[in-house]
Amino acid sequence: MGFALIEKGRDVNKQILTGNQAVALGALRASVKVVTGYPGTPSTGCLTHLLTLDLPDRHVEWSSNEKVAFEIASAAAWAGHRALCTMKMSGLNVAYDALISIAYSGTNGGLVIYVADDPGVSAGMPEQDSRGFALMSQLPMLEPATLAEAYKLTQTAFELSEKTGSPVFVRLTTAVAVGHALVETEEAIAPKEIEPILERDIARYTKAGSKICLDQHQALIDRLNHARRIIHKMGLNRVKLSKEPGGLGIISVGATSTYMNEALALCSRLDASEASSSRVSVLSVRTTIPFPSEEVKQLLGHCETILVLEELEPHVEQAVYVAAQQLGFTGSIIGKLDGTLSPIGEYGVAEVLKGLGACGLSPVASGGKPQAAHNEPQVPNVPAPQESATLILASNAGAGRPPTVVGPNGEPSSTVLSSAAMAAPRPITVCAGCPHRGTYLAIEAAIKQAGFAKDDVMVTGDIGCTILGMNPPFNLIWNEVSMGTSISLAQGYVHAGLKTPVIATMGDSTFFHGGIPGLINAIQHQVPLTLVVMDNGWTSMTGMQVNAGTDDAFQSEGRRVDIEAVIRGLGPDRVEVVDPFDLNATTKALTRCLAEPQGVKVVLAQRECAIQTKRRGIVAEYTTIDPDKCILCKQCLRVTGCPALSVAQDSIAIDASLCNGCGLCTEFCPTGALSNSRAEGGAK
Amino acid sequence: MIACDIVLIGVGGQGIVTLGDLIGRAALAANVPVSYVPTKGMAQRGGFVKVEIRLGRETVGPRVPEHGADLVVSMERSEALKGLRFVRPNSRFILYDHVWEPTGVMLGKDDYPSQESVLETMSQALSDVLVLNPDNRPIFDDRPVAANVFTLGAMFSTPILRESIDPRTMESVLLHRWPKASEANLAAFHSGVQEGDATEYGFSQFSGGRKS
């Protein structure tokens, strides 16, 4: 998170920010009035940061899902205010139903959608390229390469949105979104004091009828072309042609631009500005949509070879092929479509070097000692001749390299790859004292008590911490698709004719986000299954955001929605409310559900997230070990996998700083060595 | 301006992300351009954590290139192996040789690499390795000093980092960050610097062979 305003001038603050915070502060500078979003790594930090600030006259909220969030922001913008909506790439899938319609209607106030893509997949979920959504909805999408650009282009996005009447995307990728760097920011500007626009115009705000929709389609195309002209005039997509025509032209999109500069410097020992004066021309693209056709035309008219550097799908590259065909360009185009680069994974210097290598450019040895290289300004640490082997590409690589050279295609050598594989596996599991641990153990026990084998019982999974039951020691959950999907998947398995009970699991935030329609469907169609809602009161995996079910004490302006009342209100055939730390009662409740062949059964397992109780210092009990009684059978560890337990010299040890006294481990100790005691005063 | 690329590696709960923040603050105070990106995965604790730090470059992509780090630091023995893709033969590597066994290892289901095998693998990739023995941490107020600040001190015994950021700037950041724990943190930092200065880099003295 950002910190330390060290230099506060009259107008400019210099501070270390994350990309997420830069977007947030950019929006404040741009007079944003309404900010909505749903948590999702790596985008979460934007709205989280705004919630830490005192923002009179602005509304900031975590909405129940991305579609709801986007719809709220859209109406605020239709009413003339500036609005921002934040989400991860998967959230855009949810918001898209509303988004495509609002794209056709356009906007009045600036409407900006901040979406964070995750090439390389730091946090799970498909490695999708959100630019595809911008292409389909024909909405401009700005792609900052650095944090400073994230701050500036967020403001540009609001201006562009108002000038063109189009919603505008700002897209960051993980390393820029969660990366930290020094950013100069200016004071926030309060939202405009305007009367909300009330405009009755069904031709614009409805989709009722073919004429309306066809006209809106034309208006949509016109807006994107308008945006293209504005963006061209602003010079957002910067083209620098080499002095002499011919040579290589590099198109770098978004975050790849910075790595391009670094790789070029390694190849030429020149910085990018000098490089461009030689035989290399560059086009730094910040908008895949609208495609910078004028700038690409310049590059194609000037260069012999084009290298396209873009992460994930070849959207720009495909458009370059089209432009090349239209212009009669006869040179070669290097990128993904010729097989040089991969659409998979995050790009860094290595991928750029691979692309440059295909164009005949390779890193140059410095000729000096490595330490000397450090002292040269602006020149990266170019390795000494012997070391440079680690960066030289296939075309130049000879025999007799040190054992750590990269492979022929720039991939790590087998030594390094196999060394990473030598590391001990470290599967992620639930925290010490996590209530989900009790639920997993109870589900497992109930399956057994109901007379079934674990491998015969489908337990569908959902997004968030609840999915951790897929990992050891539980190995309980079979699948994970999207928010609220577990309940619908379970119905499909029932209809497919499974003879064994089907169980669906999801968390509280997922339930509110997307789980309710699936549960309604199960009840309506009387699908025999058991839904386990693991309600820990927070949207936990993304770092503890408030959701509809979070306690009143943490609801900033609203109030808690009673999840039990919602479930009972839908009318399932059985509702059991349990405390997952009460393993016996939870197991019995689940066993009753599994024993009932018909109807929809819901088990609501309620217990607050252990991280949150620990932060507030609520510890009712603590667990101790009697080393004399411990026979080191490790049963506690084997069953619970609790991170607070470890194997010491002669007995199990408990890390008191982690243990919150859930007592689950005591249930599995055959000798009574583990026991729970009430903490001093009950709670501290 | 000296460019210095650092990769920090460890396990969630060891204070790796905090180390990244501290170096970021020190760079800011020293007026050195800095970019750093933490990678935490999904684990709150006990999972793989990495911070990539780039000092002394005005505009730069956040990721340290493979085989491009000047300094790689691992605070866990087994995880150190995941840092090797960042090293080149003349990188410096600091291993704070803590062993954090995953549950699968404690249960005898998974293997955990020996110190010997980790160092043997490292020796194929580079020569400048400093192994810090966690037991060598001095006692302050009846407890061993904080492992991450101790390691930070050892990092500041390397010339490349000292030339980028004055160790005194780092000290002052530590003081301001946690005023109440300033004495303990300074003790940890200084002992780390001393340990780094006193210990030979290389593979001939694995258990922290001291310079005479």
* A224 & A329 share domain: no
Distance (Å) from the C-alpha of residue B11 to the closest C-alpha of chain A? Answer: 9
Mean pLDDT of A285-304: 98
A251 and A113 within one domain: no
Question: Same domain for A110 and A173?
Answer: yes
Q: Are residues A653 and A534 in the same domain?
A: no
Contact A374 B48 (CB under 8 A): no
B88 vs A390: CB contact, 8 Å cut-off? yes
Order the strands of the A332-334 sheet from edge to edge: A238-240, A280-285, A248-253, A305-309, A332-334
Distance CA A644, CA A635 (A): 14
Q: Which residues of A414-483 form beta strands (DSSP E)?
A: 458-460
Q: What is the pLDDT of residue A368?
A: 34
pLDDT of residue A399: 31
| pLDDT confidence of residue A676 | 94
Whether A625 and A610 map to the same domain: the answer is: no
Contact A131, A75 (CB under 8 A): no
Show the beta-strand stretches assigned E in chain B: 4-11, 34-39, 48-55, 71-74, 92-96, 128-132, 139-140, 143-144
Mark whether A103 and A212 lie in a shared domain.
Answer: yes
Instruction: Give B89-138 pLDDT, tens digit per residue.
Output: 999 999 999 999 998 999 999 999 999 999 999 999 998 999 999 999 99
Mean pLDDT over residues A32-61, rounded?
97
Per-residue pLDDT of chain B (212 residues; tens, 9 = 90+): 789 999 999 999 899 999 999 999 999 999 999 999 999 876 566 789 999 999 999 888 999 999 999 999 999 999 999 999 999 999 999 999 999 999 899 999 999 999 999 999 999 999 899 999 999 999 999 999 999 999 999 999 999 999 999 999 999 999 999 999 999 999 999 999 999 998 877 775 554 444 43
pLDDT the model gives residue B201: 77
Look over chain A and give the mean of its residue pLDDT values, rounded to a whole number. 90
For residue A64, give both structure tokens: 């129940």
Q: Do B124 and A403 touch (CB under 8 A)?
A: yes
Return the CATH superfamily for domain B4-198.
Answer: Pyruvate-ferredoxin oxidoreductase, PFOR, domain III (3.40.920.10)
Q: What does the pLDDT read at residue A488?
A: 98
Contact residues on chain A for B23, CB-CB shorter than 8 A:
none
Number of domains in chain A: 4
- Report the share of chain A in percent with pLDDT over 70: 88
The letter for the amino acid at A475 is: N
Query: Rounded to an integer, what distance in angstroms lies between the CA atom of residue B41 and that of residue A330?
Result: 45
pTM for this structure?
Answer: 0.92
Residue A428 domain flag: no
What pLDDT, in 10s, does the model give residues A73-94? 999 999 999 999 999 999 999 9
Query: How many Cα atoms within 13 Å fall on the side-chain side of residue A444?
Result: 17
Q: How far apart are CA A529 and CA A527, in angstroms?
A: 6
Q: Is residue A132 part of a domain?
A: yes
pLDDT digits (tens, 9 = 90+) for A176-193: 999 999 999 999 999 999
For residues A555-588, b (16+ Cβ closer than 10 Å) or e, as one string?
A: eeeeebeebeebbeebebeebbbbebbbbeebbb
Residue span of the structural domain in which A167 resides: 3-232
Q: Which chain A residues touch B101 with a CB distance below 8 Å? A: 424, 646-647
Instruction: Name which of A5, A16, A44, A416 to mutate to probe chain B: the one with the most chain B Cβ atoms within 10 A of its Cβ.
Output: A416
Instruction: Show which of A346, A381, A412 is a domain's final residue.
Output: A412
Residue A210 CB burial class (10 angstroms; 0-12, 13-18, ≥19): exposed
Q: Rounded CA gap, A468 and A487, in Å? A: 17
Residue B119 contacts residue B203 (beta carbons within 8 Å): yes
Question: What's the rounded Cα separation, in Å, for the pair A503 and A75?
Answer: 39
For a pLDDT cut of 90, what percent of chain A falls above it? 82
CB atoms within 10 A of CB A400: 6
Examine residue A323 and state whether it is found in any structural domain, yes or no: yes
Size of interface A-B (CB pairs under 8 A): 190
**At what angle are helices A293-302 and A210-234 packed, to 10 degrees?**
50
Return the SS3 of A287: coil
Please give the average per-residue pLDDT across A146-152, as a whole number: 97
pLDDT score at A269: 58
What is the CA A56 to chain-centroid distance, rounded?
Answer: 29
Q: Identify the CA nearest to A124 among candidates A436, A539, A543, A467.
A: A467
Q: Which of A232, A249, A272 is the last residue of a domain?
A: A232
- Nearest CA among A13, A6, A88, A93 for reference residue A43: A88
A345/A333 same-domain check:
yes
Q: Per-residue pLDDT averaged across A170-180, rounded?
A: 97
Helix or strand run (H / E) with residue A587:
helix A583-595
Q: What is the pLDDT of residues A397-428, one digit of tens each?
A: 333 333 333 444 444 555 666 788 899 999 88
Question: Contact A295/A231 with Cβ under 8 angstroms?
Answer: no
pLDDT of residue A674: 97
pLDDT at site B47: 87
* pLDDT value of residue A123: 82
* Amino acid at residue number A210: S
Residue A292 pLDDT > 50, yes or no? yes
| Whether A5 contacts chain B with CB within 8 A | no
Tell me the two tokens of residue A189: 């500007």
What are B4's strand-pairing partners?
B55
Chain A from 396 to 415: CB within 8 A of any B CB: 402-404, 406, 412, 415
In this predicted model, what pLDDT tens digit does every residue of A323-376 receive, in sequence order?
999 999 999 999 999 999 999 999 999 999 999 999 998 887 654 333 333 333
CATH number at residue A639: 3.30.70.20
Inspect the interface and report whether the beta carbons of A381 and B68 lie closer than 8 Å. Answer: yes
- Across the range A254-262, mean pLDDT stands at 95
Judgement on whether residues A245 and A296 belong to the same structural domain of the protein: yes
B24, A180: Cβ pair inside 8 Å? yes
Q: Is the peptide bond before A408 cis (omega within 30 degrees of 0)?
A: no
The verdict on A590 and A540 lying in the same domain is: yes
CB atoms within 10 A of CB A202: 10
Q: Check residue A657 and give its pLDDT.
A: 87
Residues A482 and A345 occupy one common structural domain: no
Same structural domain, A462 and A572: yes
Say whether both A119 and A244 belong to one domain: no
Distance from CA of A544 to the nearest CA of B (A): 11
Q: Within a 10 A sphere around the Cβ of A89, how many other Cβ atoms?
A: 25
In whole angstroms, give the CA distance from residue A600 to residue A490: 11
Nearest residue, CB atoms, A387 vs list B11, B88, B107: B88
Mutation site, A21, A405, A419, interface B, largest B CB count within 10 A:
A419
pLDDT for residue A365:
61
